[in-house]
Structure 1
């Protein structure tokens, strides 16, 4: 399977993370393990890897665990920095079997992108657009960390589209991701407003 061009430039070898996912001596895989296996991989690639599990329904708490590294990665994406996270985030982990599913989804996504994606609309895929996507990603990641229902999938999809668009210099994917990101924030605001309204109805009868 072909790896996107930026992945090649940064020496990312998907087989390295595949071997990590297949290591049956491990029960869990930490964020630090994943980043070490990726080597000096690009921030976009790491953003894609951590965003992908949020693009589908997942177990409660998954979005928080993966949202933390996403927050730091999107900050670095906005500032064009080398990817790194604090030690306390690097120690966070997921089950190895769950990580293996993520890697297979990543392979499938690249295979799909090979047929559907190509460099286009350069104005939406250049360095400035990537930094803007990083800024939007910071806000999306902050919302993702919150224990809110229903919001992780649209946010995850937006982050995946932006990261994949940046990796493949596909301005159409990047623009779709940005649009989805803004829509996700609007949807999140509606969810928060709904929760506040429900909470007020629950608390109101308790007042004397």
Structure 2
């Protein structure tokens, strides 16, 4: 991924102690939207400490909204100022580099209708819902939502419709799982409240 080289250079900039979201957007330029979605989705695709997904989903919400509207990446000033230590940023970039090395062997341009403008808009709207789910402290659903966002962003970065299809399938399945968890939690909570009354 050509865009990844810009993040690698940013990670190697020893003049910066912290890397802001604004730094990332500036380094990536016009190609930043899909790469930034991948950057913030990747940590959510593996089990992390509680609360991590809530922090990372805020940029994802803005980025997926812009994908749905086919707009250039933009962040409000308060969010653009949010930062990572250069060490943590470099760790994430290294993970991306490792993923890129593996994905380059299997991702190819194919099934173009699933990475066209219309499909990208649908992926953006699905991404908004997945990012919103990540805000909620729901068990079991963060990793599937993160994987779906990673697949969608990879599909769009590589123009690989197969990865986009897998992202759509995983994304809608994740939303179904989230709905099931909410309904189950509500029923359990309702039963507990009823037992307290009597």
Give the Å deviation of 1:63. 0.9
Give the Å deviation of 1:23. 5.5
Rounded Cα–Cα distance in structure 1 between residues aligned with 2:50 and 2:17? 19
Query: Residues 156-194 of structure 1: CA distance to partner in whole angstroms, max 9, x if unpaired?
Result: 100110110011111110001001000000011111122
Per the normalisation by structure 1, the TM-score is 0.85
When the two structures are aligned, how many residues end up with a matched partner? 198
Is residue 182 from structure 1 mapped to residue 190 from structure 2 by the alignment?
Answer: no
Per the normalisation by structure 2, the TM-score is 0.89
**Unmatched 5+ residue regions in structure 2?**
none
Q: Answer whether contact 2:20 2:83 (CA < 8 A) is retained.
A: yes
Which residue is equivalent to 2:71? 81
Which residue is equivalent to 1:98? 88
Distance 1:99 1:87, change over 3 A: same
Distance 1:121 1:40, change over 3 A: closer
Is residue 46 from structure 1 mapped to residue 64 from structure 2 by the alignment?
Answer: no
Q: Answer whether contact 1:65 1:92 (CA < 8 A) is retained.
A: no
Is residue 170 from structure 1 mapped to residue 179 from structure 2 by the alignment?
Answer: no
- With 95-104 and 51-60 compared, the bigger mean Cα shift is at 95-104
Rounded Cα–Cα distance in structure 2 between residues aligned with 1:177 and 1:206? 43
**Unmatched 5+ residue regions in structure 1?**
none
Which residue is equivalent to 1:37? 27
| Residue 115 of structure 2, aligned match among 118, 125, 149 | 125
Rounded Cα–Cα distance in structure 2 between residues aligned with 1:198 and 1:54? 27
Is residue 56 from structure 1 mapped to residue 76 from structure 2 by the alignment?
Answer: no
Which residue is equivalent to 1:194? 184
